[in-house]
Amino acid sequence: MTLELQSVGKDVGPDTHLDDISMTLENGSLNVLLGATLAGKTSLMRLMAGLDAPTRGRILVDGRDVTGLPVQKRNVAMVYQQFINYPAMTVFENIASPLRVAGRSAAEIRAKVGEAAAILKLEPYLDRKPLELSGGQQQRTAIARALVKGADLVLLDEPLANLDYKLREELREELPRIFAQSGAVFVYATTEPSEALLLGGATATLFQGRLTQFGPTAEVYRRPHDLVTAQVFSDPPLNLMTGARHGGMVSLSTGQVVATSGPFAGVPDGRYELGFRAHHLGLERTSADAIPLAATVSVVEITGSESFVHMDVGGHRFVALVPGVHRLEPGSTLTAYVEPRRLFLFDPSGRTVAADFALAA
């Protein structure tokens, strides 16, 4: 199945929830919708499913216009953030429920439930009720029920958001394998850039109801078309400052004046927004042309193997993600470094004008 959205928009009263979204999802593909809360991810999934109708535009399935076709007439399965199971039924019956509604034979039901349970490692729990399971096992049950339905389109709306860290990590690793074993179109909504990168496939970045970019996940991450996309796909948030090029020198809004190099070398004189990700801001000089930034430490978050160092640099709030444990006192001073080749440059309209994309990611 191929799902195509053509200039789709959705208004609710005077408010525009989605605006001019066009994208094509191919058979057997994994597609991530990445954006902050209220970016439009759930609204877009509801249009794809047929739960809502767009105000503008068309939705096509294999070239057939299904814009007004309700969900009951589409072969769609959906898994929500709040996992939904039937508490009075066993795990087996929960997974089998769409097959029984479809009138499948007992032998086919056993086979399909067994296959889905094996994929999701639920075989030891088939005779249990959902309330006897952990949160991760309950969510696996909901996913298994969506898989056995044999839907052409499977929509997963932040399905791991309510699980604890260990369970999220386990399922994140398993889901790409599960998706690869199905020929359906999968759409997975998340607020987390790291989750999009782990899942792979293609990613659509959404911001305030607009699609800012859609393409292979690694490509969107490494080559954002604009500042908004780079910000959506950065966690911790993208560090930002401005730079004005005059001939061979660049004046930074943090107070430094540096020689023209890196992405600045190929752009005309003018004022630019500069962005760089947290893991490219270091506490040690790694090259001769690294830009030194005099900083005051605000707070340090230690995760174990890494430290998030929040700092003030010339009135800008930056965060560095550095390996190891760094116990730095708030108010202490240090010099941080960023290499020019790690910078994204954006013009006044927010479009990306230069970056060494092999390095800026």
CATH level 3 topology of 3-225: Rossmann fold (3.40.50)
Scanning 188-226, the segments in alpha helix (DSSP H) are: 193-199, 217-222
* Domain limits, the chain: 3-225, 239-360
Neighbours of 302 (CB within 10 A): 14
* Residues 198 and 235 sit within 8 Å (Cβ to Cβ): no
Phi, psi of 10 (to 5 degrees): -140, 120
| Dist CA 219 CA 203 (whole Å) | 9
- pLDDT digits over 301-331, tens only? 998 899 999 999 999 999 999 999 999 999 9
Beta-strand (E) ranges in the chain?
A: 3-12, 15-25, 30-34, 56-61, 64-65, 76-79, 153-157, 185-190, 202-207, 210-216, 239-246, 249-252, 257-259, 270-276, 291-302, 306-313, 316-323, 333-338, 344-346, 352-354
Q: Is the pTM of this model over 0.85?
A: yes
Q: What is the CATH number of domain 239-360?
A: 2.40.50.140
Q: Per-residue pLDDT averaged across 332-350, rounded?
A: 94
Rounded Cα–Cα distance for residues 16 and 136 (Å): 35
Give me the half-sphere count of Cα atoms (radius 13 Å) on the Cβ side of residue 89.
14
Bridge pairing between strands 210-216 and 202-207: antiparallel
The band of 359, judged by pLDDT with boundaries at 50, 70 and 90, is low
**How many Å apart are CA 91 and CA 138, to the nearest integer?**
9
Name the DSSP class of 196.
H
- pLDDT tens digits for range 23-73: 999 988 999 999 999 999 999 999 999 999 999 999 999 999 999 898 988
| Tens-place pLDDT, residues 136-145 | 889 889 888 9
